[in-house]
Structure 1
Amino acid sequence: MKPADICIAVLVAMIWGLAFIASRIALDELSPELMTALRFTIAAAPCLIVPRPKVSWPVLIAISFTLFLGQFLTQAYGIAGGVPVGLTSVVVQSQALFTIGLAAILFGERPSRMQTIGIAIAAVGLLMICGTVGYDFSVSAFAVLMISPICFAVGNLLLRRAQGVPMFDLSAWLCLVAAIPLLVLTLAEDGVQPTWHALSHMSGVVLLCMLVIGGISTCTAYWLWGRLLRDYPAAQVVPFALLVPFVGSAASSIVFGETFGPLRLAGMLTVVGGIAVMLLSRRAQVLPKVVGA
C-alpha cells in the first residue's frame, strides 16, 4: 500500500474507535433510538445529490437493516445499558468470527486451519468476558450488544449482493433506508413531544458528537474504507480494523476512566488476538469488507 493510503487506513480506524466515545457522550442526552436515527439521517444527506445504486430494494433494505440499523441500534442499547465503551468496541469487532462461521454454514466456505484456530481463540476470549458480566452492567445489556456483531456479520454477507456499485452512493442510500424506520421507532417509543424536547435542548457538545458520528464516522470513513478495498486486496486493508478496539479502549480509559479487571482485560486481548489470527491468515480475502462503529 502507498504510504498515503496506509495513513488513510489508520485514520479510518482511529475515527471508528473514537466514534464509540462520541456515541457514549451523545447517549447522555439522547435515547438509543434517537441517537441512531440522527446518525443515519446526517449520513444520508448525500442522497440529495447521488443516485440510488443499481441494487434492488429488497437487497438494499436487507443490507441496511442488518449492517446499519441492527448493528448500530443494538450497540447504542448496549452502551446505554452500561456496557463500557472499550469493551463494546472489542465485542463489535468479534463480527469477524461470526462472518466466517456464517459463511461456512450458509455458503460452504470452509475456513482455513489458521482461521479455525482464530475462531477458537476469539470464542475463548468472549467466554472470558462473559465471566465478568453482571457486576458493572447487566446480562441483558450484554445480550443485546451481542446482537450487534451478528447483524454486522449477516450484513457483510448480504453486501456481496451489491458488488460493483459505487461505495459512497451505496453507503448513503443504506443510511437513508435505516433512518426512516428509526425515526418512526423513535417517535413511537419516545413520543413526539419528548423527541422534540431532546432535539431542541441538545447541547453543543452532543450536536458536535452527532455531526462527527454521522458525517465523519459513518459517511466519510465508510467511503474511504470502501475506496481502499477497491484499490487493494482485502488482506492488506482489513487488518487495520484491529486498531479500532485498541483506540476505543484507550480513549475510553482516558475520557471515562474505564478500567479493566484481569479477567476482562485478558478476555479482550484474547478476542483481539483471535481476530488477528483470522484476519492475517492466507484466506483473509473472504473476510468482511466493511467494518466500523
Structure 2
Amino acid sequence: MTPRHLALAVALAAVWGVNFVVMQVGLHHFPPLLYAGLRFTLAAFPAVLLVGRPGVRWRWVAGVAATIGVGQFGLLLVGMRAGMPAGLTSLVLQMQALFTVLFAVTLLKERLTARRVTGLTVAFGGLALVAYDFGTSGPVGAFALCVAAAAAWGLGNVVQRRAAPPDSLRFMVWVSALSAPPLLLLSVAVEGVPVLPPSWEGWLSLGYVAFISTLGGFGVWGWLLRRYDASTVAPYTLLVPVFGMSSAAVVTGEPLSWVKLAAAALIVSGVLYAGTRPRRREPVTEPLPPPSPLPAAPPPRG
C-alpha cells in the first residue's frame, strides 16, 4: 500500500473501532434487529433516490446485502445484546480477517505469501493476548454469534472484491437499501411491533453508524478492495480492537492493562508487516573503468 492508502486504512479502523461503543449505547434504546434495520434505512434513504444504478449486477448487490448487511450486522447486534461487551466484540469480529483470507484463497485463487502469513500470525498473537486479558466469562452463545458475524463479513469482503463496483459509495447505498427490508421484517417477526424511543442519545447513535460507519466506512472499504487484494486490505481491520478498547477506556472507564498495550503493539506491527511490500533494492553496479588511452601513432618513416 502507498502511505496515503495506509493512512486511510488506519483511519477507517478508528471509525469502526469507536463504532462498537456507539452501538452499545444504541442497543440500550433499540432492540438489535430493529437497530440494524433502521441503520440501513437511514443509510439508504433518501440517498438511493439521488444516486444512479449500482454499476454492477444486482446479484452482487444482493450478495453483499445478505452477507454484510443482514448476516454480519444482524448476528453482531444480537450477540452484543445477548451479553458480548463492546471491547470483546471488537476483538472477536476481527476474525473476519482470517475468514477473508481463507475465502479469497479458496474462491478467488489469491496468493498467500509468506510475508502475509507471518504478519497475520504476529497480529493474531496480539489478539490472543487480548482474549486472555478479557477472559472467557462471556456467554458462549453470544460469542458464537459474533464468530458467525465475522465469517459473514469475511465472505462479504470476497463478494465485494468480486463485484468490483466502480463507485463504492453508490454501491453501499444500494446494499443498505437491500439490507433494510429483511432486517425490519425479521425485527417484526422476532422482536414484535417496533416502538421508537424518543431518546436523542439513541438517534445520535443511529446517525453515527448509518452515515459515518456504514456509508463512509464501507465506501472507503470498497474503494480499497478495488485497488488491492482482499488478503492485503483485510489485515488492517485488526487495528479495530485497538481503537475499540481505547474508546471504551475513554467512554466507560475500562482500564488499559500492560497486556492490552503489548497486544496492541503486536497487532499494529503484524498488520503493517503483512500489508506492506518490501522495498526492492536497486542493483548495485560497479563503476566502469575509464577508457584506456589510444596508443600513440608511430612516427612517420622518412
- TM-score category (smaller protein): 0.7 to 0.9
**Counterpart of 2:187?**
186
Q: Name structure 2 gaps, 5 residues minimum.
A: 279-302
What is the CA distance between 1:29 and its match in structure 2?
1.6
The reply to whether residue 102 of structure 1 matches residue 103 of structure 2 is yes
What is the CA distance between 1:113 and its match in structure 2?
0.9
Native 8 Å contact 1:90 1:271 kept in 2: no
Q: Distance in 2 between matches of 1:267 and 1:34?
A: 35
| Structure 1 SS opposite 2:56 | coil
Letter in 2 for 1:69: V
The reply to whether residue 26 of structure 1 matches residue 26 of structure 2 is yes
Q: 1:144 to 1:181 in 2, by over 3 A?
A: same
| Structure 2 SS opposite 1:94 | helix
Q: Distance in 1 between matches of 2:28 and 2:185?
A: 21
What is the CA distance between 1:138 and its match in structure 2?
0.9
| Structure 2 SS opposite 1:151 | helix
Percentage of identical aligned residues: 33
Deviation by residue 1:184-239 (Cα, 9 ceiling, x = unmatched): 000001111xx1x2x1x230111111011102211123334545666x66799777
**Counterpart of 1:15?**
15
**Counterpart of 1:77?**
78
**Counterpart of 1:285?**
none
What is the CA distance between 1:86 and its match in structure 2?
2.0
RMSD: 3.2
The reply to whether residue 222 of structure 1 matches residue 223 of structure 2 is no
Letter in 2 for 1:203: S
How many positions carry a matched residue from both structures? 274
Q: Distance in 2 between matches of 1:249 and 1:44?
A: 30
Native 8 Å contact 1:97 1:275 kept in 2: no
Q: Distance in 2 between matches of 1:272 and 1:6?
A: 12
**Counterpart of 1:53?**
54
TM normalised by structure 1 equals 0.79
Native 8 Å contact 1:77 1:144 kept in 2: yes
What is the CA distance between 1:58 and its match in structure 2?
2.6
Native 8 Å contact 1:242 1:276 kept in 2: no
Structure with greater Cα Rg: 2
Of the three residues 253, 257, 265, the one matched with 1:257 is: 253
Letter in 1 for 2:191: D
Give 1 or 2: higher helix fraction.
1
**Counterpart of 1:155?**
156
Q: Distance in 1 between matches of 2:276 and 2:95?
A: 15
Q: Name structure 1 gaps, 5 residues minimum.
A: 283-293
